[in-house]
Structure 1
């Protein structure tokens, strides 16, 4: 069964790759495995997977560099990093390179598959309807998943897009980090609210001075006219 599409798993530990592949196949995904960064990069270009599960600590061309090169080519295939390093700098670096999410080893294969499904739901978006959100200089065409600032297109990851959309749908409303984590990522608060802060920082950086996102100290974030 591959009705959910092909997921590329780039992992040099064969036991982990086999386990992840087993759980993905159970959920109806097709799976292709590569053990090196170069092989993974070539496979993305050749196979056009719906998502990539990408180990950060690959020999040679590591996962962060693979993701950086994909984004530099304007390839926004959803990427979920798998890393053995739990330091905050690794997470921030990965998200700066355009990753949509990450899990830290050791991880539950079920959790990883659930996160892949969540990322793909965000990419697919809601049923087609006419919806355009605008606040200040920022305009979001929800149907086409396009964002512009003063008419200039801005490339966002699927997570950044859904975070911005969620905030813009309720202008002026303050969302806590836990609320955003549940609404956008679909995770329990235990997953770590720092994830929200990192994505907000990245989103603001891409939107520039026209960003409508403001921090409400001690509470969370809101979208207001700059």
Structure 2
């Protein structure tokens, strides 16, 4: 299930929005910009999109959105606001928001907008994916661990394996499926090739490669542990 960070200073409204979103998403909550930034910059703060209620001032949402973008937060960001005029909508979108949702809106519409932006984000090569404490950037061939401020370089095949496993959303992927879709299974490629790449990935991303917590073996395949 995709995770949404809901940023809203109004406790009652936040509870109502969280309740309406919970049918489709895992909802995390933040009452202000400081709490939102702390959550998103923390190690392991798995989150797929940010939903910001602008509150009393139309500038609140765009200011937070601009700040998050400046810190390298690339996930979809949606702003919720009362209709104040075209200038506010333009300012919100120019701040880096993916969408500006005007009140009143239906919860069904809001969930649909979130799903649409998440689909676009998931297929974009430049999209940043979360794997445990890492921000996974396929286009840059790297994992970035914010807590330790370190970058881990990846090979093209390592990127392809992680992308495939991440897309499985925690479900196991069989070895023969990875060999076929990542390598284009042929006589020159054996399961040992895949096992070697998995071993190298664990050396790079696991604190204790012998006792993996992120990249797990599952019967005849592998999966990513999204619970970490």
User: Normalized against structure 1, the TM-score is what?
Assistant: 0.50
**Superposed counterparts of 1:162-177, under 5 Å:** none
> SS at the partner of 2:105?
coil
Which contiguous aligned blocks of 4+ residues in structure 1 show a shift greater than 3 angstroms?
A: none
Q: Aligned-pair RMSD on alpha carbons?
A: 2.6
- Residue 15 of structure 1 deviates from its aligned partner by 2.4
Partner of 1:123: 121
Equivalent pair of 1:12/1:58 in contact (CA under 8 Å): no
Question: What whole-Å deviation, never above 9, does each CA across 1:47-80 have from its counterpart, x for those lacking one?
Answer: 2410001012367x92211111111112112100
Q: Distance in 2 between matches of 1:8 and 1:15?
A: 16
Q: Distance in 2 between matches of 1:42 and 1:108?
A: 30
> SS at the partner of 1:26?
coil
Equivalences, count: 127
Partner of 1:39: 35
Partner of 2:87: 89
Equivalent pair of 2:10/2:55 in contact (CA under 8 Å): no
Q: Distance in 1 between matches of 2:46 and 2:92?
A: 21
- Residue 17 of structure 1 deviates from its aligned partner by 1.4
User: Normalized against structure 2, the TM-score is what?
Assistant: 0.50
Unaligned stretches of 5+ in structure 2?
Answer: 126-137, 141-228
CA distance change for structure 1 residues 105 and 63 in 2, over 3 Å: closer, same or farther?
same
**Superposed counterparts of 1:71-82, under 5 Å:** 71-82=69-80
- Residue 145 of structure 1 deviates from its aligned partner by 6.5
Structure 1 residue aligned with 2:105, among 107, 130, 135?
A: 107
Structure 2 residue aligned with 1:25, among 16, 22, 26?
A: 22
Q: Distance in 1 between matches of 2:3 and 2:66?
A: 21
> SS at the partner of 1:83?
strand
Partner of 1:169: none
Q: Distance in 1 between matches of 2:56 and 2:36?
A: 10
Give the structure with higher Rg (CA): 2
> SS at the partner of 2:73?
coil
